[in-house]
Amino acid sequence: MGKLYFKYGAMGSSKSASALMCRFNYMQKGMSVLLMKPKVDTRYTTSEVVSRIGLSAPCYAFDKDENLAKFYEKENALSKIDVVIVDECQFCTKKQIEQLRSLTDRIPVLCYGLMTNFKGELFEGSKRLVEICDSLSEIKSICQCGRKATMNGKFVNGILSTEGAEIDIGADEKYKGLCYPCFLKEQRKAEIYNKIIKHLNILKNKEDAGDWSTDLPMDNIVLQKPFVVYDEEVKNFVEDFKDVDVKSPQKFMLIDDNIDALRKITVKDKDFDYMMALIAYVLKLEKEKPGLLKALIEDNTLTKWLRQIKRSVDHEDFS
């Protein structure tokens, strides 16, 4: 009597490579292997299981409506099958997982796949496997920070996305295994980016960001030093930026707070957090040095900083 095994891992954890090595081990011992995967997996080819490290093997690709138990019976009648191996099992339906479960009264069934989608939710096939498998084991991989990867981040133009259909086929160009803290960090970065970067085109080449004003004098004494009344576009940018939790704006305290020094700051190759902290620093200085923001907008310095934020995320020049 066999067992139903579910071997899961985050993106990039060598699940397909493990499935192919398992196939090799069985075949090396003279056993017959039925290697399968859902037809929806079209990353490389529909007729093979392919690993990033270069391993591959022909397989049978099945539709979501196909009865896997009946297919096994048909193939087993032609030539005895000793084990079934399923790659990308998360794309199986609940019913197909139950069909695979029914085969284990005769042979082992090994399923390899993701536990959760890019939204952090269980796939239908994975959920049913967790509920009825005999053996549940994790294929571990690491996040870019060195911690264990547990989440599957989907990136669109460099920004983490949790929107869209559950099944969105892609490989390294779209998905990345992340630990939970890094997943939350990328989520925060996406929220900030989407809120801030929309102002890039609005503020670019802006010739007049606002008008200077003072309170009315009383007995020839000005009650308040001149300040800038910014237009709605600038006010909207400032309001959106106030909602952002910027890390370490104090890192710029050693920079001269005059406009010439700020204009000369080299931003090439600076990362997202650096640029956000730089803008936060300028908004803080504006309270002490009215008109600083106006000057940096009108000479396109702020546009340059926003452009670097965009470039640091999507690695593409803004046009």
Q: What is the CATH number of the domain that holds 82?
A: 3.40.50.300
Q: Are residues 132 and 207 in the same domain?
A: no
Domain residues for 290?
197-314
Look at residue 304 in the predicted model and tell me its pLDDT.
92
b/e sequence 3-34, b meaning 16+ C-beta within 10 Å: ebbbbbbbbbbbbbbbbbebbeebeeeeeebb
Cβ atoms of 152 and 117 closer than 8 Å: yes
Contacts 24+ apart (CB under 8 A), 184-193: 186/153, 186/160, 187/160, 187/162, 188/245, 189/159, 189/160, 189/272, 189/313, 190/159, 190/160, 190/161, 192/244, 192/276, 193/159, 193/272, 193/309, 193/313
In a domain, 134, yes or no: yes
What is the torsional sign of CA 68, 74, 75, 81?
A: positive
In a domain, 165, yes or no: no
Residues of the chain scoring pLDDT < 70: 164-173, 215-224, 243, 245-255, 314-319
**Gap between the Cα atoms of 272 and 274, Å rounded:** 6
Tell how far CA 275 is from the center of its chain: 21
Q: Are residues 106 and 206 in the same domain?
A: no
For residue 114, give the 3-state DSSP assignment. coil
The residue among 106, 139, 172 that closes a domain is 139
Look at residue 245 in the predicted model and tell me its pLDDT.
66
The residue among 121, 139, 157 that closes a domain is 139
The tally of domains found in the chain comes to: 2
**Gap between the Cα atoms of 7 and 23, Å rounded:** 14
The yes-or-no answer on residue 239 being catalytic is: no
Cβ atoms of 210 and 191 closer than 8 Å: no
Look at residue 125 in the predicted model and tell me its pLDDT.
97
Cβ atoms of 188 and 201 closer than 8 Å: no
Q: Are residues 126 and 41 in the same domain?
A: yes
In a domain, 185, yes or no: no
Look at residue 53 in the predicted model and tell me its pLDDT.
83
The residue among 117, 139, 161 that closes a domain is 139
In a domain, 166, yes or no: no
- From 48, 66, 73, 88, active-site residue: 88
In this structure, the strands spanning 135-138 and 159-161 are unpaired
Residue with tokens 């559950």: 166
In a domain, 76, yes or no: yes
Nearby residues of 36 by Cβ (< 8 Å), 6 or more positions away = 59, 60, 61, 62, 68, 84, 85, 86, 87
Whether the full predicted model's pTM is greater than 0.75, yes or no, is no
Q: Are residues 116 and 205 in the same domain?
A: no
Look at residue 259 in the predicted model and tell me its pLDDT.
86
Look at residue 240 in the predicted model and tell me its pLDDT.
86
Look at residue 79 in the predicted model and tell me its pLDDT.
94
Tell how far CA 250 is from the center of its chain: 29
In a domain, 148, yes or no: no
Q: Which of 206, 213, 257 is nearest to 234 (CA)?
A: 206
In a domain, 39, yes or no: yes
Cβ atoms of 195 and 244 closer than 8 Å: yes
Q: Are residues 54 and 128 in the same domain?
A: yes
Q: Are residues 206 and 288 in the same domain?
A: yes
Look at residue 160 in the predicted model and tell me its pLDDT.
85
Look at residue 319 in the predicted model and tell me its pLDDT.
34
Q: How far from 268 is each of 157, 272, 274, 315, 317, CA to CA, in Å? A: 19, 11, 11, 12, 12
In a domain, 106, yes or no: yes
Cβ atoms of 200 and 310 closer than 8 Å: yes
For residue 77, give the 3-state DSSP assignment. helix
Q: Are residues 115 and 201 in the same domain?
A: no
Q: Are residues 22 and 118 in the same domain?
A: yes
Nearby residues of 269 by Cβ (< 8 Å), 6 or more positions away = none
**Gap between the Cα atoms of 315 and 172, Å rounded:** 16
